[in-house]
Each structure stands twice: as C-alpha cells, then as structure tokens.
C-alpha cells in the first residue's frame, strides 16, 4: 500500500514536471521568430520574387514583408511541409497583413494578382508607397480597387495603414510591433525598411536600397545609429538585407542596389557605431539576388570569402522555414 502510494506520488510529480517543461518550452519557442520565404529573388523570376512571412514560432499569425510572389510561394511551402494546411487558409488566415517596402512590381505583383481571393487585412507602408498602390495598381485601368481609398468602386478589402518613419506601431492581429525606416532606391526615389519585434527578439528587413555613398544620402547611417543599442543588447541579431549584384557590376549600373563590396562598406559603418571589430553575433539573410547567369554563385562566394566582420550569412530557399 505504501509502495503504491509512493509510485502514484512519483508519477503525479513526473507528469507535473513534464507539463511544466512543455509549458516553458512553448513560452520560449513562442518568443522565437520564424521566416517563411515565399519568394527570394529580385528581377524577372516571376514565380520566386521578394516576399517573406515573419511571425512567432508556434503561431500562424504572420506579416508578409513585400508581396512579389504569393501563390507559388505558399504552394512551395506546403509542398516542402512548412505548412500543413491548404493554400486558401495560408492566404486568408495566416497572412494578417502586408508591408510593402516600395512600389516596384517585383515586390507587390503577387499581392495584387491574388487580391480577389484574399481576406480583409491591412497594408502597411510609407505614404509614397501607398500612393503608388492607390494611383497605379489598385485602379480600374490596371486591376480593381481592392483597397479602402482611391477610385470608385472601392471594394474595401485592404486598409491602407500609413506609417511614419521612426515611429513604432502594432501589427494588427499579431503579438508583433514594427518601426519603418526610410531608404534610398535611386535617389530621389524611396524605399523602406521595417523592424519587426516581440518582447524577446527582433528582425530588420530592408527593401531595395543603395549604399549611402552611391545614393548620396544618410538613410543607412541613420538606421545604424538607431539600431545599435538593440544589437548591443542582443535583442536584434538578424537582418534581411539585399545584395542584388556581384562586385563586377559597375557602380553606375547598380540602380539602387548593393553588392558584396558595398555590403561590407555598410557593415564597417555599423561595426564602428557599435564599437566592435566583429559582428559574429549578427545573421544576415541575403535577399533580392538577381540570378542571371552565374551571378548568384558569385555573390555567395564574394560574401563568404571576404567576410571581415564574421557575419553569418543565410541564403534563403523558397518555402523553407528559417528559425531565428
């Protein structure tokens, strides 16, 4: 009888301890961020263009960072087992909103084309980007007005959310907050970056951007100064930053993009701001490669073979989850 009592007591304690561990594990992983690439390239590869879902682990609440490819990316994620559901559920229920960095087709065409099948949700962006959507794409001549402003009839499916650079705001129906920053993409034309955060972690996504030296601006310098404390504290450890061309591309033909050489030039400024010689705690997910000829392989080699700040580079693949 005594032996039975102690066995029951032990089993009860074992169950409670196991549940406690599961609970702790769930809480910790819920604070981790995940990235699901729906499209990874820049340029003309229409089935695999810039679009990344970002959300917390153990959650199906995502914000889409750009919308170059949606349909093909969702199907690829289902095919690879990243999502164990159907296309419509991911599009309508998982994607809680879109951030559009700028008004170029390789960053928004998938969102526009799939808008008839989508559900009601917000589109975040700076006023210049929303103006392009309102005046050039969600119009009767180009498509139909699925947004809440602009030409009639207004279908009111998407709600424009105007963001002010440097001001934090909540991302609706998620546990995430965001802050948008200005970028230059062939000065005076603009692009934007977005910092996504929860209580524990953060990720900084850049739309298309040229280097400050080439663009004649200080937008990246401003970002480095602003985010330096978050990097020092360990809160921000991941960038999603474009490198569109290899080093052989002439600077006068970059059209507002980066090369590995210019990436290092900007990372030198960041390291100086942080007052460190190494950025070995920083991970950069390399985006927007233009995969013409052997350019993709050259970019990968140039980044990894000349890595003076010991950055960890990730080259994303469409549909494959990245856990941060």
For the record, the structure tokens of 298 come out as 């050259």
Q: Per-residue pLDDT tens for 55-100?
A: 999 999 999 999 999 999 999 999 999 999 999 999 999 999 999 9
Instruction: Catalogue the long-range contacts made by 220-225 (C-beta closer than 8 Å, 24 or more residues apart).
Output: 220/183, 220/266, 220/269, 221/269, 222/181, 222/182, 223/181, 223/193, 224/266, 224/269, 224/270, 224/273, 225/273
pLDDT the model gives residue 44 = 87
The mean of the pLDDT values for the chain is 93
For the record, the structure tokens of 210 come out as 């040229």
Across 9-31, average pLDDT:
48
Please name the residue ranges forming H helices in the chain.
2-31, 71-79, 87-89, 109-113, 127-132, 212-215, 219-232, 260-274, 295-305
State the Cα–Cα distance between residues 318 and 321, nearest whole angstrom.
9
State the Cα–Cα distance between residues 202 and 197, nearest whole angstrom.
4
Q: Per-residue pLDDT tens for 181-199?
A: 999 999 999 999 999 999 9
Domains and CATH numbers, the chain: 33-323 (3.60.15.10)
Q: Per-residue pLDDT tens for 92-103?
A: 999 999 999 999
pLDDT the model gives residue 9 = 47
State the Cα–Cα distance between residues 119 and 129, nearest whole angstrom.
21
pLDDT exceeds cutoff 50 at 308: yes
State the Cα–Cα distance between residues 225 and 228, nearest whole angstrom.
5
Q: Contact at 8 Å (CB) between 182 and 127?
A: no
pLDDT the model gives residue 22 = 43
| Residue 178 pLDDT class (50, 70, 90 cuts) | very high
Q: Contact at 8 Å (CB) between 209 and 193?
A: yes
pLDDT exceeds cutoff 70 at 125: yes
């Amino acid at each position: 009888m005594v032996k039975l009592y102690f066995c029951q007591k032990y089993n009860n304690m074992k169950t409670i301890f196991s549940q406690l561990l599961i609970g702790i594990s769930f809480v910790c992983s819920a604070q981790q961020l995940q990235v699901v690439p729906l499209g990874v390239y820049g340029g003309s590869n229409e089935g695999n263009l810039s679009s990344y879902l970002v959300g917390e682990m153990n959650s199906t609440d995502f914000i889409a960072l750009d919308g170059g490819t949606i349909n093909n990316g969702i199907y690829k994620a289902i095919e690879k087992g990243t999502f164990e559901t159907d296309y419509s559920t991911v599009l309508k229920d998982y994607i809680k909103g879109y951030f559009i960095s700028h008004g170029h087709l390789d960053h928004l065409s998938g969102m526009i084309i799939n808008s008839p099948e989508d559900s009601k949700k917000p589109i975040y962006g700076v006023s210049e980007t929303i103006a392009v959507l309102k005046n050039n794409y969600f119009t009767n001549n180009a498509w139909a007005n699925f947004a809440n402003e602009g030409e009639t009839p207004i279908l009111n499916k998407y709600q424009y959310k105007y963001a002010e650079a440097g001001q934090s705001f909540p991302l609706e129906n998620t546990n995430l907050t965001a802050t948008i920053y200005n970028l230059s993409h062939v000065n005076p034309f603009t692009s934007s970056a977005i910092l996504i955060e929860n209580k524990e972690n953060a990720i900084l996504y850049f739309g298309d951007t040229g280097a400050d030296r080439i663009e004649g601006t200080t937008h990246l310098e401003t970002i480095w100064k602003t985010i330096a404390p978050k990097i020092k504290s360990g809160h921000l450890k991941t960038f999603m930053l474009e490198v569109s061309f290899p080093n052989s591309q002439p600077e006068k033909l970059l059209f507002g993009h980066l090369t590995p050489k210019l990436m290092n030039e900007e990372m030198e400024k960041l390291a100086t701001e942080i007052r460190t010689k190494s950025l070995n705690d920083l991970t950069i997910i390399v985006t927007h490669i233009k995969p013409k000829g052997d350019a993709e392989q050259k970019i990968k080699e140039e980044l990894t073979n000349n890595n003076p700040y010991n950055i960890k580079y990730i080259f994303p693949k469409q549909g494959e989850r990245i856990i941060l």
